[in-house]
Amino acid sequence: MIASEEQQEYMRSGHMACPGCGEASTMRLVLKVLGEKTIVVIVPSCVGVISATFPNSTFKVPCFHSAFEIAAPTAAGIANALRVQGREDVTALAFAGDGGTFDIGLQSLSGAADRNDNFIYVCLDNEAYMNTGIQSSSSTPQGVWTMTTPGGRQGRKKKFMQIIAAHRMPYAATASIGHPHDLMAKIRKAKNIKGTKFIHTLTPCPTGWRMPENLSAKAAMLAVETKLFPLYEVIDGTEYRITHQPLGLPVQEFTKIQGRYRHFTEEDTAILQREVDDEWEQLVAKTKGCKL
């Protein structure tokens, strides 16, 4: 259920996201939960487009367009300033893409997380540099087509949550636009925890994933239900809890609707399936013995 105060919108219509953009819907939900007392930090990414050009704003809350690699220290700087000012009822929130998080912003995120500065970091993972026109990032899954991996990406998608967990942040979670209630519950939780909170959201991009624009939320659901992108949370980097039991559909349910996987052979899919299964087991193993 959505709390009554969450009926409010803090994002406006009329923004320039592509039709069906997963980033836009994710941001909207995050803001719905965080509400009016939020300062948004964005960095170059499609969010920069979605957020509108001067003199307009897509947001009904204060927002700052920071630089690509500094989403975390920007939010941290704001959070610390708010502390100095005694405005700790205001949430500092950072939105950054996978490029801005897995790659160029990793160091600064790590630093902020290490200091445990008080802010929420939401990674909008669309698995490539979309704003610059679909280039591969370290979040791009193996084998996937992008403009810079025309023959399929060699590297494998970075296991980012493991890096996050290693920081022992008070709260980290994966979330997906396909499961909006779960996503909102996690933001709600994050809002009430002091320290660095990291939310890894999968935000399907119809443009970059080469799929029809009506399928992005469904793709997000499929990613979860195929166990490719399980929904879970990690408390203090050690306590794991799966928040949604996936249906366990075969991975090709997810891959077959996207052009970026078009060239995948049965063999490729089988490899991916094995990997997904292994990782799911590892995740389940981590939840064993956890108090949650």
Partner 1 sequence: MKTLLQGNYAVAEAVRLARVQLVAAYPITPQTPIYEKLSDMENEGILPGVMMRTESEHSAMAACIAASLTGVRTFTATASQGLALMHEMLHFASGNRVPIVMCNVNRVVAVPWAFGSDQSDSLSQRDTGWLQFYCEDAQEALDTVIQAYRIAEQALLPVMVAIDGFFTSHFIEPIEIPDQASVDAFLPAFSIPTRFNEADPAYIANVVNPEQYMGYRQKSFEDMENTRPLIKEANEEYQRIIGRGYEAVESVNTDDADIVLVTSGAMTSTARVTIQSLREKGVKAGLLKMKLLRPFPTREVQEILKNTRKIAVLDRNISLGKGGIWCQELKAALYPLENRPIITGYIAGICGADVSPDMIEDMVVKALERERSDDLPIWVRRDQ
Partner 2 sequence: MNGHGITIENIKKIVPFSQGSTEIFLTGLWSSRKPIHLDKTSPCRQACPVGNDISRAFYEASMGHYDEALRIFRQDNPLPGVCGRVCYHPCESQCNRKYYDEAVNIRGFERFLADNGKVDIGRERPALLRKEKVAIVGSGPAGLSAAYHLARLGFSVTILEALPMAGGMLRYGIPEYRLPKGILDKEISYIQELGVEIKTGVTVGKDLSLSETRKDYQAIFLAIGAHSGMQLGLEGEDLLGVMDGITYLRTINLGKKVRLGKKIAVIGGGNTAIDCARTARRLGAKDITVIYRRTRAEMPALAEDVDGLEREGIKIELLAAPKRLISENGKISGVECLRMKLGEADTTGRPSPFPVEGSEFIVPVDAMIAAIGQAPEAAFVKELGISISKNNVIQISSETTATSVDGVFAGGDGAGTKAFVADAIASGKLGALAVYCYFEGKDVKKELKNHQIGNQQSFSFQHFLNPKHYPVDLKKVVPYEKINTLCFPHGVRHNNPESVPPKEAVKTFREGTSGIEASRMPFEIYRCFKCGTCTHCDLCFLLCPDISIIKGTDGYTIKTDFCKGCGQCATTCPRNVIEMVEGPGGNT
Q: Residue for token digits 């203090």? A: 236
User: Which of 82/93 has CB closer to ligand TPP?
Assistant: 93
Is 126 among the residues that bind ligand SF4 (CB under 6 A)?
yes
Closest CA to 216 of 127, 121, 136: 127
Please give the C-alpha separations between residue 11 and each of 7, 37, 99, 158, 160, in angstroms, as whole numbers: 12, 13, 23, 31, 28
Q: Considering the complex, what minimum distance in angstroms separates the CB of residue 27 from partner 1?
A: 13
Is 60 among the residues that bind partner 1 (CB under 8 A)?
yes
Beta bridge partners of residue 198, listed in sequence order:
121, 172
Task: Report CA dihedral (146, 149, 152, 155) to the nearest 10 degrees.
Answer: -110
Structure tokens of 53? Answer: 């050009």
Task: Out of 108, 131, 149, 252, point to the residue binding partner 1 (CB under 8 A).
Answer: 108
User: Which of 168/218 has CB closer to partner 2?
Assistant: 218
The site string for ligand SF4 over 189-228 (x = CB under 6 A, - otherwise) reads ----------------xxxx--------------------
3-state secondary structure of 28: helix
Give the interface with ligand SF4 as residue ranges (CB under 6 A).
17-18, 21, 23, 46, 49, 126, 130, 205-208
Footprint on this chain of partner 1 (rule: CB under 8 A): 36-39, 41, 48, 51-54, 56-67, 69-70, 72-78, 80-85, 90, 107-108, 110-112, 114-115, 117
